[in-house]
Amino acid sequence: MTTSPVERAADAFVSALAQWRVERGMTKKQLAARMGFDPSYVSHVEGRRHKPTEDFARRAEAVLAAGGAIWQRFQEYDELRHARGAALHRDPPVPVQWMPPGTGLIVEQEIAELTHVAGAYRCRIRRALYNAGVEPVTRYLVKIAVDRYPHDPAGSNQHHRQHPLSFEELDLNAVAGEGDAAEPMLWRLKLDRDAAKEVWLLFANDHGQFPLYPGERTTIEYAYTVGEEKWGQWFQRAVRLPTRNLTVRLDFPVEFEPQVWGVETSLAAEVPVRTPLERHNDAERAVFEWSTDAPLLNARYRLEWRFRGQSAPAGSRQTTSLPATGHQPAATVPMRVPAARGPVTMQVDGRATDEERFPERETTQIGGQAAGRLDGEQRSSTGQHRAERNGHELRASQRMRGLGIVQRGAELLRQRARHFQLPREEAEAQVAAAALRTTLDRLEAVHDFSKGVGLAAPQIGVPVAAAVVRPPDRDAEPIVLLNPRVVDESVETDEQYEGCLSFFDYRGLVARPLRVDVEHARPDGTRVITSFERAMARLVSHEIDHLEGRLYVDRMAVDALLVPVEEYGQTGRPWIY
């Protein structure tokens, strides 16, 4: 039983650490990696096997952005610990502003403004940057993406094929620096698609280079235009770099009678933004503003709106809010930016991704299924008949498409699924789970999945956080997961080949933990934590990746290659442990 003040203070520190870690949706291993510690170190501290140091406390506070709570608990513990004797040696001081190892660019402030003018949206992004790394920064990635109907991938894709973004329409421009010292920035093409553009913004122009050296600061600003027929009614900011402050402004004509609300999406959940939006009218304009300090890395903040005025653009007026899973116009701006063949002035958003390793990954979602038997040997006569056209056997992915599985290339598979608001949306959750089980039954009537199989709602075209996993034991009941998230995982991992119903022409070798603890909801809103091991841990982790818009290829080693299903020799065999 804890009796001494020091032990009680140590318990309070550990409790604060664990509380904020779970609040941020991070496992012990993930937190240790972000802090630059051995994977088991956080587990040892939370288990009271290691004493926390000042360096550990500062790093935990910086990574978890706990508003000083973790640091305060450590100070209370530290004072009591050292009060027991002046002879005890204190930890050496550490810098007040510790940054996670590998930190490069830091966004000290971002101001993102979206203005509706003359039938179009003009977006202007301004970022104050600080190079906290050890290498000069010479380029910066900007991304611009639009999605007119985010909950109708087929309709949205068709719309953007007919109405693609163009560089002429975007009218992109960007500069680095301020006032008389501002320099236009050249850019280099990275991605050019109908609804997405990406470019590297270069810290260079025709007059020379101006890298951002370690310890230096600068401001970059860029702007572009998208017609209202392509944009949709939301504006999203994705936090891709450590950010101190984020401010988002929307500027609409007052006569549109705009109504605006905000949603925050993190690794843990999708919830309303934690602070209210402020509105003020400026002449004939209605300006909405929202800001937050120290947003979580990889979090997304989305402002949505509807226009109630009769003078609002056609198709944008609504008398009631559309359901979250309905055909809701929207546009995403975790920004994908353009490129061309000549120099242009503009600015960039984000950092390089690993998609260059697998060019086909850019719009490919590889979901949560194990590599089951899909070579056709177990197909029913009906399935075999449907799989043949003009005397030629269809590829595995074509067969899956014929069974209603969303295939790679669909933007829906790269988006984070919406969490249910339970128990209010209990009926909707039950419908989604039933649809998943029905689809799994249809798949299993045609194919033999000896490793088990899973299916996530986005794979059947429903953008909600629901998945169903059938264990390798065919007599076991399928497991339904609603709003799932991993809250802990084992340090021990293994590598196995995985496949996906949305990308079943290939297999990939993926390392995953041998055990995961998953918090998930029942339809009545109660939350439970279930521990999964080995094959089930792999299947469940794979499906949760699906719901977070992540692919198994994202977890493959840098030098790993995808294996065509024709060359894969383990079809029809369970994983070996």
Among 220, 262, 248, which Cα is nearest to 349's? 220
Among 523, 463, 497, which Cα is nearest to 576's? 497
Among 313, 314, 331, 330, which Cα is nearest to 322's? 330
Cβ–Cβ < 8 Å for 223, 344? no
* Ramachandran area for residue 400 (φ above 0: left; ψ -120 to 50: alpha; else beta): alpha
The beta-strand segments (E) located in 228-332 are: 234-238, 245-253, 258-265, 270-272, 278-282, 285-293, 300-307
Give the strand pairing for 300-307 and 234-238. Answer: antiparallel
In sequence order, the 6+-apart residues with CB closer than 8 A to the CB of 145 are: 195, 196, 197, 331, 332, 333, 334, 335, 336
- Distance between CA atoms of 298 and 30, rounded to whole angstroms? 14
Cβ–Cβ < 8 Å for 568, 502? no
Give the orientation angle of helix 54-64 with respect to helix 5-23, to 10 degrees: 30
- Distance between CA atoms of 46 and 17, rounded to whole angstroms? 8
- Distance between CA atoms of 193 and 191, rounded to whole angstroms? 7
Task: Report residue 340 as tokens.
Answer: 């061309």
Phi, psi of 498 (to 5 degrees): -125, 155
Among 404, 538, 540, which Cα is nearest to 479's? 540
Query: Rg of the chain's alpha carbons, rounded to an integer?
Result: 25
Phi, psi of 536 (to 5 degrees): -70, -35
Q: How many residues does the chain have?
A: 577
- Distance between CA atoms of 457 and 435, rounded to whole angstroms? 8
- Distance between CA atoms of 498 and 560, rounded to whole angstroms? 13
543 is catalytic: yes
Cβ–Cβ < 8 Å for 543, 469? yes
| List 198, 362, 543, 548, catalytic entry | 543
Task: Report residue 527 as tokens.
Answer: 């939350």
Q: Which residues are catalytic?
A: 543
